[in-house]
Amino acid sequence: MAKRDYYEVLGVERGAPEDEIKKAYRKYAMKHHPDRNKDNPGAEEQFKEGAEAAEVLMDAQKRQAYDQFGHEGVSSQFRGGGFQWSDFSHAGDFQDIFSNLDDIFGGGIFGDLFGGGGRRGGRRSSRGEDLKVAVALTLEEIAEGAQKTIKLSRLEGCETCDGSGAKAGSEPVTCTVCAGQGQVRQATRSLFGQFVNVTTCPECGGNVQVIREKCDDCGGQGRQKKQVSLSVNIPAGVAEGNYIPLRGQGNAGPNGAPAGDCMVFIEEAEHESFERHGNDIVYDLPISFSQAALGDDIEVPTLTGRVSMKIPTGTQSGRIFRMRGKGMPEVNGYGTGDQLVRVVVWTPTKVSKKAEELFRELAELESGKAPEGGKGFFDRVKEVLGG
């Protein structure tokens, strides 16, 4: 079954502000809540579909990628290549809806969505930095979609210490301040009674483990610079400034924390014959006097090869012919732009003896005499050009 449009799933307009999306999702989640749909076996899937839509549309970066590239643009941002419940980061915003779901889904699935982000015993330190790289593509490559290999230098887990940051023989030890919890509890008294604050452990920074002796090769960071090659699939129809996020392909996190992302920015190489205007391609076609006057069947280059085109009798210089569907495909896969062929009548700068004779003969005939100039003339040219 084809994936549904996220905006359609939640029933919101494409430009809807975030609070409207939030509201729409709340309504959706209440309606499709498995608790209320015990007799409907499809409800669980629908419930998940709504969460996926909300996850994407409530995140500015994911939403932009989706608006530009459709589902293809965001699937790589989910760890398993597709949305899993563990990708849902908004359960905390809808706790009233999600709080009892562990029982329904057999526990465990939602376990790590709650608790203020504190996964017991897990690493919570900050992930690696995101990286940006640019990849230049010709218009032909963009028209077809391309697979590109990009080279970049990034921080990867240190091989000497296996990412731990600790010197050989000096294994990292469990933090004693938080007893391996990554968090510490502080009780404070107030007028209203005792409150317990949970904060990140100041000793290990939430890492759970502390390093006594640092690895010499990485200085305790657990990561080193490496040159790598990445393969990236570029969908057809992308434009300058678009980017493709490669999840987990940025710098490795310090001390084994998850890696950041790598953003591949698209650059459009200048083309010697074509000019891109949105999804339309403009091509200037020089033709001779006789071709313009008598008409001709010719071949013009397009992004996907040569295509025959008819020059009608009496074609005016500057006239634009539209070749439907010969432009750039829409990046979301809906439709294709056109190629606009702008005819330029080429005046010869050198003529042979024979051609000169014929031109003189033609001049005497005066049948092809140009009309009067002035404003009226340009109005008539505009009519011809459809402007």
Binding residues vs Zn ion (CB under 5 A): 158, 160-161, 175, 177-178, 201, 203-204, 215, 217-218
Give me 27's structure tokens: 């309504």
Report whether 51 contacts 42 (CB < 8 A): no
For residue 223, the minimal CB distance to Zn ion (Å) is: 8
Of 158 and 263, which CB lies nearer to Zn ion in the complex structure? 158
Residue tagged 């004779």 (tokens):
357
For residue 138, the minimal CB distance to Zn ion (Å) is: 42
Q: Select from 317, 231, 297, 234 the least CA-distant residue to 268.
A: 234
Reduce the DSSP state of residue 105 to 3 states and report it.
Answer: coil
Report whether 257 contacts 128 (CB < 8 A): yes
For residue 252, the minimal CB distance to Zn ion (Å) is: 11
d(CA 146, CA 233): 6
Q: Select from 303, 224, 285, 235 the least CA-distant residue to 264.
A: 235
Amino acid at residue number 236: A
Amino acid at residue number 39: D
Of 199 and 304, which CB lies nearer to Zn ion in the complex structure? 199
Of 170 and 317, which CB lies nearer to Zn ion in the complex structure? 170
Of 217 and 296, which CB lies nearer to Zn ion in the complex structure? 217
**CA neighbours within 13 Å on the CB side: how many for 279?**
18
Question: Any bridge partners for residue 151, and if so which?
Answer: 229
d(CA 129, CA 148): 23
Residue tagged 């569907």 (tokens):
325
Of 169 and 387, which CB lies nearer to Zn ion in the complex structure? 169
Of 223 and 319, which CB lies nearer to Zn ion in the complex structure? 223
For residue 213, the minimal CB distance to Zn ion (Å) is: 11
Q: Give, to the nearest 10 degrees, the angle between helix 43-57 and helix 18-31.
A: 170
Of 81 and 121, which CB lies nearer to Zn ion in the complex structure? 121
